[in-house]
A and B are shown apart, each in its own frame.
Chain A
Amino acid sequence: MKYLFIDSATATLVVAIISEDKIIYIHNKVTGKDMSSDIMPIIADAFNKTGLKPQDINKIFAVNGPGSFTGIRVGLAVAKTMAWALKIPVVPISSLEVIASTPNKENNIALIDARRGYVYAGIYDSDLNVIKEDKHILLDNIKDKGTYVSYDDFPGLKPNIDLLKVIKKHENEKGINPHQLNPKYLKLTEAEENLMKKSGNRSN
């Protein structure tokens, strides 16, 4: 089986092709603001270098959040459109689970900075079982045992992702129809929060 993996939720863009349990192409680099320019040429390069055609891909594994709202959407727009065009399923993957695939003996507390003291956090054991669901939370409110793993400035490990471990964990999932593939932001927009506050006050 051949899979395409896309993770654009943080500044580190990961594009990979996995064929018969082996990673035959991986791009895993800080891309930052140029993500929307870079992602398609990188995907084209992945197919070029491996000699595969998009039509050879059986399933797409796409990170759908949490993380940078725009970043998530850039990768998902590609994954959705590609899966729709190729008529193949997509398996949504958590950005925090990918970060948590970093080898460690104790539980990994994967973190993405969400500003103003908040983080996106998910806790996973070394087999990537979910110990605590991904959420948007004040960093100070995390009391669990484990090692922080983050691309951002938190004390702990820097991610050293084990992509095959992530793929193996989800390989047998059927996946979803690409129309149904949507971001998991874990946070409302400010406008929605303000509207809810307002309507909350009114009903009080």
Chain B
Amino acid sequence: MSTYILAIETSCDETSVSIIKDGCDEISTVILSQMDVHANYGGVVPEIASRMHIENITMVIEETLTKANMTMDDITAIAVTYGPGLIGSLLIGLMAAKTLAFIYDKPLVPVHHIAGHIYANNLVKQLEFPLIALVISGGHTDLVYMKEDYSFERLGGTLDDAVGEAYDKVARVINVPYPGGPLVDKLAHTGKDTYNLPLPLDDDSYNFSFSGLKSAVINLVHNEKQKGNEIIPENMAASFQNRVTTILTKKTLRALKELNVKNLIVAGGVAANKGLRERLTEECQKNKINLIIPEIKYCTDNAAMIGAAGYFAYKLGRRADLSLNAKASDKLH
């Protein structure tokens, strides 16, 4: 018999619900993005995000079921992102999930947001173990080793800014509007690596640091301005992106080599970055590594990935009771 997970994800500025069959088959997903609203403020405003989630949550649940031509009776279990994320936002999805679990007497499965990003890849191709996951988003930069399903060992991660955060800050400095990350990526493709920027934290750890690189961009732009020179945004974007992709690729490949792992998956919003996708594809081909990068629609926040992760958590017997609370931060486990 098939397992159908109804998954809810409201950790940031997307209200999303999805139905996933057996951890790999996407039956239906609805994503209501608030990006246009937050663009007016140059970033996500947590209170506005929470306000929009509560307005839309039941409509998104209903639409997902309607699209799937299913009712709650067809659902095996309910999975929900309990963290990390914005507390006020998380709480809307969490309360809705707990209420559904109670009314329909279904198991409630708590899912870590990053486990979701990793398992987005299972919607593309069944994960093969052992693997290394490079998780890169606006809030995370982590290298994770997985020897089997739902076993997460963090090898290293950012010591300061997440990579997506660094992109957004650099975007602001070179006058690229919100959301800056994807636009910097686009600009980089039309520019040349002409600016002298440092390769950040080029050591033998698996950690990353992007705040120094970000400061180097800010200082360079500032100095050029004082000299009365205009910086070329395309070239600055290309130079910055080149450093970021170089260090991410370098440390990820070293981890694969040192741990003798042949499978790499990339997850999180920054996995949509074209520059990084090209670089990793090339290096993985050279080194005979199986690389899975999800389609762009699975890179950004969505409930399909929570349903995929939720299936494996469900199979492992992970359950929460009705007192489950949201957590702004929590270790991936």
A interface residue numbers (CB < 8 A to B) = 36-41, 43-44, 54, 69-70, 73-74, 76-78, 80-82, 84-86, 178-179, 182-183, 185, 189-192, 195
Contacts and interface: CB of A to CB of B under 8 A. Distances in A.
A81 B95 CA distance: 8
Contact of B322 (A44, A69, A191): A44
Given A37-B323, A69-B50, A74 B57 contact: no
Interface string B311-325: 000000000011111
Given A36-B91, A69-B88, A189-B47, A183 B54 contact: yes
Closest 8 CB pairs of A and B: A77-B95, A40-B322, A81-B99, A191-B45, A189-B47, A84-B58, A81-B96, A37-B323
Contact of A36 (B48, B96, B326): B326
A40 B50 contact: no
Nearest to A194: B41
Interface in B27-77: 40-41, 45, 47-48, 50-51, 54-55, 57-59, 61-62, 72
Pick the most buried of B57, B72, B91, B102: most chain A CB atoms within 10 A of its CB: B102
Given A40-B102, A191-B48, 4 more contacts: A73-B51, A73-B54, A84-B61, A191-B45
19 contacts: A36-B326, A37-B324, A37-B325, A38-B323, A40-B99, A40-B322, A44-B322, A73-B50, A74-B95, A77-B91, A77-B95, A77-B96, A82-B103, A84-B58, A179-B59, A183-B51, A189-B48, A191-B45, A195-B40
Interface in B101-132: 102-104
Contact of B102 (A44, A73, A76, A178): A44
Tell me whether chain A's interface is mostly helix, strand or loop, or mixed.
Answer: helix
A82 B322 CA distance: 14
Interface string B154-195: 000000000000000000000000000000000000000000
Given A43-B102, A189-B48, A84 B62 contact: yes
Contacts of B98: 40, 78
A69 B326 CA distance: 16
A41 B98 CA distance: 10
Contacts of A78: 95, 98-99
B100 interface: yes
B104 A73 contact: no
Contacts of A80: 54, 57-58, 96
B45 to A, nearest CB: 4
Interface in B277-333: 321-326
Contacts, number: 96
Among B41, B47, B50, B95, the most chain A Cβ lie within 10 Å of the Cβ of B95
Contacts of B94: 36
B133 interface: no
Interface of B: 40-41, 45, 47-48, 50-51, 54-55, 57-59, 61-62, 72, 87-88, 91-92, 94-96, 98-100, 102-104, 321-326
B62 to A, nearest CB: 7
A32 B51 CA distance: 20
Contact of B41 (A41, A44, A73, A195): A195
A180 to B, nearest CB: 9
A81 B47 contact: no
Contacts of B104: 85
Contacts of B92: 73, 77
B72 A192 contact: no
B50 A178 contact: no
Contacts of B321: 41
A63 B91 CA distance: 17
B147 to A, nearest CB: 33
Contact of A81 (B51, B58, B88): B58
A69 B99 contact: no
> Which of B87, B321, B322 has the most A CB atoms < 10 Å from its CB?
B322
Contacts of B99: 40, 77-78, 81-82, 85
A77 B41 CA distance: 26
A133 to B, nearest CB: 21
A182 B54 contact: yes
A179 B32 CA distance: 15
Nearest to A199: B40
A145 to B, nearest CB: 35
B58 A178 contact: yes
Nearest to B92: A77
Contacts of B323: 37-38, 40-41
Contacts of B47: 69, 189-191
Nearest to B91: A36
B102 to A, nearest CB: 6
A127 to B, nearest CB: 31
Contact of A41 (B45, B55, B59, B322): B322
Given A54-B103, A77-B54, A77-B92, A189 B45 contact: yes
